[in-house]
Amino acid sequence: MTDAVLPPTLLRDRDRLEARLREIPAEPGVYFMRDTNDDILYIGKSKKLRNRVRSYFRQIQEHPPRIGLMVHQVVEIEFIVTDTEAEALVLEANLIKQHQPHFNVLLKDDKKYPYLCVTWSQLYPRIFITRKRHLGNVQDKYYGPYVDVWQLRQTLALVKRLFPLRQRRKPLFKDRPCLNYEIGRCPGVCQELITPEAYRQTLQKVVMIFQGRTSELIATLSRQMEAAAVALNFELAARLRDQIKGLQKLGIDQKVALPDDTISRDAIALAADDHCACVQLFQIRSGRLVGRLGFMADAQSGSPGMILQSVLEAHYGSAEPVEWPTEILVQTDLPETELLASYLSEGKERKVSIVCPQRQTKADLIEMVERNAQYELARTQKSRDRTTQALQDLANLLDLPDLPHRIECYDISHIQGADAVASRVVFMDGLPAKQDYRRYKIRNPTVRAGHSDDFASLAEVLSRRFRPYHESPEQPRQDTADWPDLVVIDGGKGQLSAVMTALLGLEVLEDLQVISLAKQREEIFKPGDRQPLPTDAEQPGVQLLRRLRDEAHRFAISFHRQKRLDRMRRSRLEEIPGLGHHRQKQLLAIFHSIDYIRAATPEQLQAVPTIGSQLAQKIYDYFHPA
């Protein structure tokens, strides 16, 4: 589609805008904003669709910058009518998860707050701490994000001492359990010494702790202990007694003085500057602070009440109704308090109230939450200021016209030429952008075991990186999202010279800044300079380059180790006639190592898909020659 046939935006076609607004009914539902490419810009809900959508196109100058930018791109408006406001809320949440519209992204993907993950998609679920959410199956459950990382680790460690849980991602031994089973830390899931149903029942109890239902769990265990004692099962009763005592120690120093400790409450508040908003949510159950969650949001996305409402909708939308409190204390009035309260009450099948307290104890609690949010904001501002200072120092050091937005660094890893690989890491505004990391296998035939050539390897990788721009010179390079403001080569003058020679043939050096960073003395070289730049190893810009270089080194080494391990695994299997690459992968996926394959019987080998009786006997005979 060319620019000439693209439909104009609604703001430029007032007649079509008014006609479209008249078509929208004054009923509850969900609306879509689409751009010229028919992509969804924004998904919203309202109890009166016509009034809400019309408000976007009135007094546009008063909108936040983010909303104003979105409105100027709207070409088409679509809607779905629902019976109730609660249905609109649920539908909106599902559609946002499905389409991920750009202007609906409110919460930032902040890795400093960890989650607790329970992999319910597995037969024997794992429970572990992660800083990445929604990595696995949709059945997996995430709790958090938790602000107090130390407290989370302490709680999980205590839980794993009290309840026998799966400890390892993969079995340590093929035919017997490890030491964790012998000391009672694991029920022997690797050898299926416990049924999946019984193990899941244990894990359901553990999950209650992270749902804020510790008091309910203690009551349940107390009843089971009494029943075990009546049945003269004193060993089980003693184990339950120890679990109860351990659970009673959780949060013993986190008492929150509230007049009514029988009501479960959440208290939420934020602190914001011009860039971001730090949101804190305190989970209080039976008068105790059982969880402190933290969220980062775009401060330009709306008013404080709008941000708080979006956080609450996202948080409770991913939680089970049993985890929802019966009272929510908010720092400021929400735009749609009644709608959210109705939705939560309907899902919990119990009245849920949302209150903005103005005085007495509950107001003091909100003030405490806000104070914690301000501390988190101060930490975020300090980190952002350090990063900006480092970028400014780097721009001055290299005489760059602007602060470098995108910095790329390249490194090579091998052992005397064997398994040679390269890495590219990317920092955006001074922070790692792991979605743009790339790994390269060196294709140069002269780079092999016993013959390494870092110069040629780097020249190859940089040529592969920038060749598309040479093949499409009509596109402005600086306008592309992945064009770097600075390229850093891990090495000295020799590596830099090899890279510059390769880039010279691609005709991209006119728009590209390239430097190298030598390891030993942390010396920075620019093309054509015989001497390194005069720098201090501790100045902010040099420290930023060192972090970038170290990350590239780590990323390259991890890929090299993976490639070397794969080669070592397959080296012996490749000697077996009839055992191709696909069958090797299947064998290793089930037996995990050559040692286990060697110890397997022909019958066990034959259980692997695509491994017949004759091939299984060949594999066995190879490892057990007569």
- What average pLDDT score do residues 403-432 get? 92
- What per-residue confidence (pLDDT) applies to 473? 60
pLDDT grade, residue 3 (50/70/90)?
Answer: very low
Residue written as tokens 């990350």? 551
> Which one is predicted more confidently, 248 or 260?
248
- What average pLDDT score do residues 234-245 get? 88
Q: Which of 207-211, 441-445, 457-461, 559-563 has the lowest mean pLDDT?
A: 207-211
pLDDT grade, residue 161 (50/70/90)?
Answer: confident
Q: What does the alpha-carbon distance between residue 34 and residue 37 come to, in Å, rounded to a whole number? A: 8
- What per-residue confidence (pLDDT) applies to 488? 94
Across 87-91, 466-470, 482-486, the highest mean pLDDT is recorded for 482-486
Task: List pLDDT tens digits, range 357-392.
Answer: 988 888 989 999 999 999 989 988 888 889 999 999
- The secondary structure element, H or E, covering residue 184 is none
Q: What does the alpha-carbon distance between residue 183 and residue 197 come to, in Å, rounded to a whole number? A: 22
pLDDT grade, residue 425 (50/70/90)?
Answer: very high
pLDDT grade, residue 404 (50/70/90)?
Answer: very high
Q: Which of 5-9, 94-98, 486-490, 513-517 has the lowest mean pLDDT?
A: 5-9
- What per-residue confidence (pLDDT) applies to 257? 53
Same fold, 265-379 and 574-623: no
Two structure tokens written together for 207? 């999950």
Q: Which of 109, 54, 103 is nearest to 301 (CA)?
A: 103
CATH of the domain spanning 265-379: 3.30.420
* Residue 170, Cβ density class (10 Å: 0-12 exposed, 13-18 middle, ≥19 buried): exposed
Is residue 197 predicted with pLDDT exceeding 90? yes
Q: Which of 299, 290, 291, 295 is nearest to 279 (CA)?
A: 295
- What per-residue confidence (pLDDT) applies to 84? 83
Residue written as tokens 């004759």? 614
Is residue 1 predicted with pLDDT exceeding 50? no
Strand partners of residue 80: 30
Q: What is the average pLDDT value for the chain, to the nearest integer?
A: 85
Rounded to 5°, the CA angle 338-341-344 comes to 150
Is residue 528 predicted with pLDDT exceeding 80? yes
Domain range list for the chain: 3-104, 115-249, 265-379, 406-558, 574-623
- What per-residue confidence (pLDDT) applies to 91? 87
- What average pLDDT score do residues 285-308 get? 83
Two structure tokens written together for 40? 């969804």
**Structural fold of domain 3-104:** GIY-YIG endonuclease (3.40.1440)
Is residue 95 predicted with pLDDT exceeding 50? yes
What letter does residue 445 receive in the DSSP assignment?
T
Is residue 94 predicted with pLDDT exceeding 90? no
- What average pLDDT score do residues 550-576 get? 84
CATH class given for the domain over 406-558:
alpha beta
What are the respective helix, strand and coil percentages of the chain, to the nearest 5? 50, 15, 35
- What per-residue confidence (pLDDT) applies to 451? 86
Q: Kindly give, in sequence order, each residue whose CB lies less than 8 Å from that of residue 45, ignoring residues fewer than 6 positions away.
A: 28, 29, 30, 31, 85, 88, 89, 91, 92
- What per-residue confidence (pLDDT) applies to 258? 59
Parallel, antiparallel or unpaired: strands 265-272 and 327-330: parallel
CATH 1.10.150.20 corresponds to the domain 574-623: yes
Q: Which of 46-50, 69-73, 574-578 has the lowest mean pLDDT?
A: 574-578
- What per-residue confidence (pLDDT) applies to 462? 93
Share of the chain above pLDDT 70, in %: 93
- Residue type for 430, please? G
The torsion angles phi and psi of 187, rounded to 5 degrees, stand at -80, 10
Contact status, residue 256 vs residue 284, Cβ threshold 8 Å: yes
Q: What does the alpha-carbon distance between residue 364 and residue 470 come to, in Å, rounded to a whole number? A: 63
Two structure tokens written together for 551? 């990350």
pLDDT grade, residue 194 (50/70/90)?
Answer: very high
> Which one is predicted more confidently, 496 or 131?
496
Q: Which of 6-10, 263-267, 385-389 has the lowest mean pLDDT?
A: 6-10
- The secondary structure element, H or E, covering residue 18 is helix 14-23
Two structure tokens written together for 496? 């830099």
